[in-house]
């Protein structure tokens, strides 16, 4: 599944917050979208699935396997969401409905797109929980989000995103809200499940150290524009832009060493 | 859960006791010589003495309070000082007007508040603000005036109702249900419109909050349309917030009933209270006020329990 | 004080604030004017001129005894202002005392007071007024006391957590460590932090008092007969709704405008005095994506709705 974002512009109440961003994610490719806060990286990611707030006006072109998503109605876009493209958000706890069991929330993702019984959907939810490496999957699906840790909630969110085996997963800072120790295991999970099935990945982050673990290529954004792009290892080794250098320095400051990049 | 139920029940009983003590203190102890208050300045000493006796005023205030309380527990609210009729019976009769009136008003209020409140939040950028402003203006309108305007509008303008409601309610009560119901339509509309405006603003802000929830976005990301995502994931939680303001709504409905029953000449608990206050029939007043307070407190307790049952976060949070 | 000036500037930057301030000024000016001048003397009656419609002679017409409605409406503002000021003072006194009892006392007392306030808050103002009226007879004092006590519970409910927050904050800890005394603490930290909340609540108390006065005077338990009061005018004109429907409009309109103005003032004050809300409005454009951010900005005016009914004692943070 190929995602092409071309010359994307987003205006919110007359202010241009994303200005001509182009990003391409080839079939099975893992691409990072990196920038500081306010760079428009999250807005770009949300625009793909039509999840921007109603006040945002979007122009440009977003194509999924050649099909223009921007021209679709919300009803048509809803069939793309979850089915072909899965999404994981930043705040795992807030992203899950507090009043529903997590198993039902995973099952819902299946039942929206397939005609299957509740029991079948729940059984598949259990297997998905297994796949995101949570212990006692049968027990977990009966829990409510507040009974799980942040890391566990994020695994559930990943299970939801993977439920229909989408061709592409978009992750919006999925590890930012987690403890450092939990971050690493979630990132490993990401790269493994994505590599398993050849799923494409668009990974939004402000942390180049995180990106080094999950993505091959990255696009650097600043103030709504693309400032640099290239392979993650090249960006780290020879950042051309001051901003990219700043991101690398910021990552180094937290005792990370580029040597740890998994290849 | 059981611990919570017992605790909440305890709180309810404490609230009822507190209300009864306050009502008793204000009505029977604060004025000094209650018999003089009831009898008025022109009463003869003999009349005063008679009042004293009928009220059992010669006993101390504590035993007076306890005997009232003992009566309450047996649903014996005492007899009217003026007509001598049992208060409980009359209260039950009047409640047959007030209860349907307030329920009908609540329905009107919800029918206005829920869809428009949600709409004004979802369409915040396109006209939703106007609904909110209108609701705020409407919430500032005195219920009495709203009633008069409705009478003018429907009576003078459309000719649907008589301009002056002289006979507010059928004399034979609910013997003819359609006539009784017809008498309640305009008063219920009056209370309902105003309370609906107040509720609308709660619904709006709860919906705005729901719209901002990440899990509504997650639901859309799973493949629901954005409207469905809000309806199936956002609104149930809006419902929870609305439930928690129900106690307020009940207080509003009761106040509305007191005023609007007087305006429309309806023989309900509110008008009964207004006239008994005028007559200084303290035995009736104390029971009426306690009765209305008890409704607010009991509904508040029920709402807390319902809220706890529906919200898994609260359900197991212990005490 | 520049802080007050700054808050006033913030207030007048919002439409609700401008309307609110205008209504208050108009209300007070009408009341003051009516003390020295009304188009017609209040006691002037003229049966020959009764039930007149609006005219150059009687701007809003006359009532059943030929009294000038506009003059009475103007003078009615006196009662409204009087009750609003009184009710606000009592509500402030009751509210602050209860809030202090609920926060500055030993734990047992503190919790008992908090539970009491939570229970009492459900008690409608109108019932408190009826309770008092049954005992001491209907009067404006009853209205002032009922609104003051009833709304005082709301004030306490909203103010107490603010006091607690200040008490537990790091800056108070730091100040205490630096040796700031009890009085210094109250002046430096408590007043500036709790004051804004209080001011907002009190303007809402004033708006409740307008409706309460109207309702109670209508029922005959507020302003005594002969006192100019909008509630009384409403009940007086009501009887003649068939002959003179226009007369019913005026008192209801003034009550609604006064109530709405004070509610808007409360809402605008809430925004103007809360530095957090102020900033969020200045930077109302969400840069980082969050569907809620835009909705928040759009709904900043109603993040906590403050509906006022003639009834409910609770206004403001009812969802808390």
Q: What is the DSSP string of A148-197?
A: S-HHHHHHHHHHHHHTT--SEEEEESTTTTS-HHHHHHHHHHHHHHHHHH
* C294 contact A CB<8A: yes
Condensed to tens digits (0 to 9), the pLDDT of residues A218-248 reads 999 999 999 999 999 999 888 888 889 988 8
Q: Looking at residue C307, what is its pLDDT? A: 34
Q: Looking at residue C98, what is its pLDDT? A: 94
Condensed to tens digits (0 to 9), the pLDDT of residues B191-214 reads 999 999 999 989 998 888 888 888
Look at residue C233 and give its three-state secondary structure: helix
Predicted confidence band of residue B32 (pLDDT cuts 50, 70, 90): low
CATH topology of domain B97-318: MetI-like fold (1.10.3720)
Please give the residue that has the higher pLDDT: either B157 or A103.
A103
In whole angstroms, what is the distance from residue C42 CA to residue C61 CA?
14
Q: How far is CA A107 from CA A119, A142, A159, B85, in A?
A: 9, 12, 10, 64
In whole angstroms, what is the distance from residue B82 CA to residue C275 CA?
59
DSSP letters for C130-158? HHHHHHH-S-HHHHHHHHHHHHHHHHHHH
Q: Cβ(B319)–Cβ(B281) under 8 Å?
A: no
A172: left (phi over 0), alpha (psi -120 to 50) or beta: beta
Chain C residues whose CB is inside 8 A of the A55 CB are 294, 298
* B275 contact A CB<8A: no
In whole angstroms, what is the distance from residue C230 CA to residue C82 CA?
13
In whole angstroms, what is the distance from residue B143 CA to residue B186 CA?
12
* C177 contact A CB<8A: no
Give kind and range of the element (H or E) at residue A85: strand A85-88
Condensed to tens digits (0 to 9), the pLDDT of residues B125-153 reads 777 888 988 998 999 999 989 988 888 88
Look at residue A109 and give its three-state secondary structure: helix
Predicted confidence band of residue B220 (pLDDT cuts 50, 70, 90): very high
Query: Any idea of the CA torsion for C285, C287, C292, C297, to the nearest 10 degrees?
Result: -10
Please give the residue that has the higher pLDDT: either A25 or C46.
A25
Q: Cβ(B194)–Cβ(C268) under 8 Å?
A: no
* B306 contact A CB<8A: no
Global pTM value: 0.82
Dihedral of CA C264/C268/C269/C274: which sign? positive
Each residue's pLDDT, cut to its tens digit, for chain C (320 residues) gives 567 787 788 888 888 899 999 999 999 999 999 998 888 888 888 888 887 788 888 888 888 787 888 999 999 999 999 999 999 999 999 999 999 898 888 888 999 999 888 888 878 899 999 999 988 888 999 999 999 999 999 999 999 988 888 888 888 778 878 877 777 777 777 888 888 889 989 999 999 999 999 999 999 999 888 889 999 998 888 877 777 788 888 999 999 999 999 999 998 888 888 766 554 443 333 333 333 333 333 333 333 333 333 333 333 322 22
B123: closest chain A residue by CA: A54
Closest by alpha carbon to B194, among B274, B156, B137? B137
* Neighbouring residues of B100: CB distance < 8 A, sequence distance ≥ 6: B180, B181, B184
Q: Looking at residue C183, what is its pLDDT? A: 75
Chain A residues whose CB is inside 8 A of the B222 CB are 81-82, 108-109, 112, 160, 163
Look at residue C223 and give its three-state secondary structure: coil
In whole angstroms, what is the distance from residue A126 CA to residue A122 CA?
6
User: Per the structure block, which two tokens stand in for A156?
Assistant: 């559930």
Give kind and range of the element (H or E) at residue A19: strand A15-25
Burial group, residue C62, by CB count within 10 angstroms (0-12, 13-18, 19+)? buried
Subunit contact B300:C291, Cβ cutoff 8 A: no
Beta strands A200-205 and A168-172, pairing class = parallel
B215: closest chain A residue by CA: A95
Condensed to tens digits (0 to 9), the pLDDT of residues B256-270 reads 999 999 988 899 999
Centre a 10 Å sphere on the Cβ of residue B43 and count the other Cβ atoms it contains: 16
Mutation for testing the C interface, residue in A55, A171, A224 having most C CBs under 10 Å: A55
**If you ran DSSP here, which 8-state letter would residue B86 be given?**
B
In whole angstroms, what is the distance from residue A89 CA to residue B115 CA?
30
Q: Looking at residue C180, what is its pLDDT? A: 78
In whole angstroms, what is the distance from residue B273 CA to residue B279 CA?
10
B208 vs C126, C299, C307: nearest CB: C299
Taking CA C20 as the corner, what is the angle to CA C277 and CA B190, rounded to the nearest 5 degrees?
100
Listed by start position, the domains of chain B span: 2-73, 97-318
Condensed to tens digits (0 to 9), the pLDDT of residues B234-248 reads 888 888 878 878 777
What's the whole-number mean pLDDT along residues A198-208? 92
Q: Where are the alpha helices (DSSP H) in chain B?
A: 2-24, 34-39, 45-55, 61-73, 87-122, 129-139, 143-150, 177-211, 214-222, 226-229, 235-244, 246-264, 269-279, 282-310, 312-315
Residue B289 C-alpha from the chain's centroid: 12
C127 vs B211, B256, B289: nearest CB: B289
């Amino acid at each position: 599944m190929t995602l092409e974002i071309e010359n994307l512009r987003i205006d919110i109440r007359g202010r241009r917050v994303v200005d001509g961003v182009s990003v391409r994610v080839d079939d099975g490719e893992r691409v990072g979208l990196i920038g500081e806060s306010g760079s428009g990286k999250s807005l770009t990611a949300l625009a793909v699935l039509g999840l921007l707030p109603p006040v945002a006006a979007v122009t440009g072109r977003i194509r999924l396997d050649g099909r223009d998503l921007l021209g679709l109605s919300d009803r048509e876009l809803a069939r793309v969401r979850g089915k072909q493209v899965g999404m994981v958000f930043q705040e795992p706890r807030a992203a899950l409905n507090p009043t529903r069991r997590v198993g039902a929330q995973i099952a819902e993702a299946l039942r929206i797109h397939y005609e299957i019984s509740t029991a079948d959907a729940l059984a598949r939810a259990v297997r998905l929980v297994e796949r995101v490496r949570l212990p006692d999957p049968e027990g977990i699906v009966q829990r409510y989000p507040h009974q799980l840790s942040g890391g566990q909630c994020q695994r559930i969110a990943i299970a939801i995103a993977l439920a229909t085996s989408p061709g592409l997963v978009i992750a919006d800072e999925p590890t930012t809200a987690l403890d450092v120790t939990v971050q690493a295991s979630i990132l490993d999970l990401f790269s493994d499940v994505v590599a398993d099935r050849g799923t494409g990945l668009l990974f939004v982050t402000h942390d180049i150290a995180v990106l080094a673990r999950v993505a091959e290529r990255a696009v650097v954004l600043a103030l709504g524009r693309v400032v640099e792009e290239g392979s993650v290892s090249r960006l780290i080794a020879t950042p051309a832009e001051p901003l990219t250098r700043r991101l690398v320095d910021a990552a180094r400051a937290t005792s990370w060493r580029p040597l740890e990049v998994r290849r | 859960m059981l611990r919570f139920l017992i605790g909440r029940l305890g709180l309810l009983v404490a609230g009822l006791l507190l209300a009864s003590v306050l009502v008793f203190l204000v009505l029977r102890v604060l004025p000094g010589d209650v018999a003089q208050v009831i009898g008025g300045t022109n009463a003869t000493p003999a009349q005063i003495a008679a009042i004293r006796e009928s009220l059992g005023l010669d006993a101390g205030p504590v035993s007076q309070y306890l005997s009232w309380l003992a009566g309450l527990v047996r649903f014996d609210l005492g007899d009217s000082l003026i007509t001598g009729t049992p208060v409980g019976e009359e209260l039950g009769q009047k409640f047959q007007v007030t209860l349907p009136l307030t329920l009908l008003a609540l329905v009107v209020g919800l029918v206005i508040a829920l869809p428009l409140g949600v709409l004004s939040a979802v369409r915040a950028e396109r006209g939703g603000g106007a609904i909110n402003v209108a609701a705020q203006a409407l919430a500032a309108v005195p219920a009495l005036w709203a009633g008069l305007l409705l009478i003018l509008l429907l009576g003078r303008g459309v000719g649907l109702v008589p301009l002056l409601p002289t006979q507010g309610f059928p004399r034979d009560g609910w013997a003819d249900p359609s006539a009784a119901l017809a008498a309640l339509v305009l008063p219920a509309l009056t209370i309902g419109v105003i309370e609906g405006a107040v509720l609308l603003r709660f619904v709006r802000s709860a919906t705005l909050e729901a719209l901002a929830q990440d899990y509504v976005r997650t639901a859309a990301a799973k493949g629901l349309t954005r409207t469905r995502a809000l309806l199936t994931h956002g609104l149930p939680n809006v419902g929870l917030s609305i439930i928690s303001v129900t106690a307020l709504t009940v207080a509003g409905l009761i106040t509305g009933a007191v005023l609007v029953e007087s305006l429309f000449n309806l023989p309900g608990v509110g008008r009964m209270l207004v006239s008994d206050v005028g007559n200084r029939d303290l035995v009736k007043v104390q029971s009426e006020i306690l009765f209305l307070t008890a409704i607010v407190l009991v509904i508040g307790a029920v709402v807390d329990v319902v809220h706890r049952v529906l919200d898994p976060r609260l359900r197991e949070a212990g005490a | 004080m520049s802080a007050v000036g700054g808050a006033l500037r913030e207030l007048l930057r919002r439409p609700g604030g401008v309307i609110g301030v205008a209504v208050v000024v108009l209300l007070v000016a009408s009341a003051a004017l009516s003390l020295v001048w009304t188009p017609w003397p209040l006691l002037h009656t003229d049966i020959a001129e009764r039930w007149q419609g609006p005219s150059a002679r009687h701007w809003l017409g006359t009532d059943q005894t030929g009294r000038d409605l506009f003059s009475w409406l103007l003078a009615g503002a006196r009662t409204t202002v009087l009750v609003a000021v009184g009710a606000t003072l009592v509500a402030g006194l009751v509210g602050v005392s209860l809030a202090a009892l609920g926060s500055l006392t030993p734990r047992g007392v503190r919790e008992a007071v908090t539970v009491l306030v939570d229970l009492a808050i459900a008690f409608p103002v109108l019932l408190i007024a009826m309770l008092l009226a049954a005992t001491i007879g209907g009067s404006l004092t009853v209205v002032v006391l009922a609104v003051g006590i009833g709304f005082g519970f709301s004030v306490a409910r909203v103010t107490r957590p603010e006091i607690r927050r200040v008490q537990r904050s790091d800056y108070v800890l730091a100040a205490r460590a630096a040796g700031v005394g009890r009085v210094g603490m109250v002046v430096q930290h408590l007043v500036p932090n709790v004051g804004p909340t209080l001011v907002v609540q009190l303007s809402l108390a004033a708006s409740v008092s307008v409706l309460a006065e109207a309702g109670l005077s209508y029922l005959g338990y507020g302003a005594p007969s002969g006192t100019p009061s909008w509630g009384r005018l409403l009940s007086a004109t009501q009887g003649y709704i068939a002959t003179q429907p226009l007369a019913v409009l005026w008192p209801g309109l003034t009550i609604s405008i006064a109530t709405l103005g004070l509610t808007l003032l409360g809402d605008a004050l809430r925004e103007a005095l809360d530095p957090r809300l102020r900033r969020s409005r200045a930077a109302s454009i969400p840069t980082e994506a969050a569907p809620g951010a835009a909705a928040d900005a759009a709904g900043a005016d109603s993040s906590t709705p403050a509906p006022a009914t003639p009834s409910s004692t609770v206004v403001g943070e009812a969802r808390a």
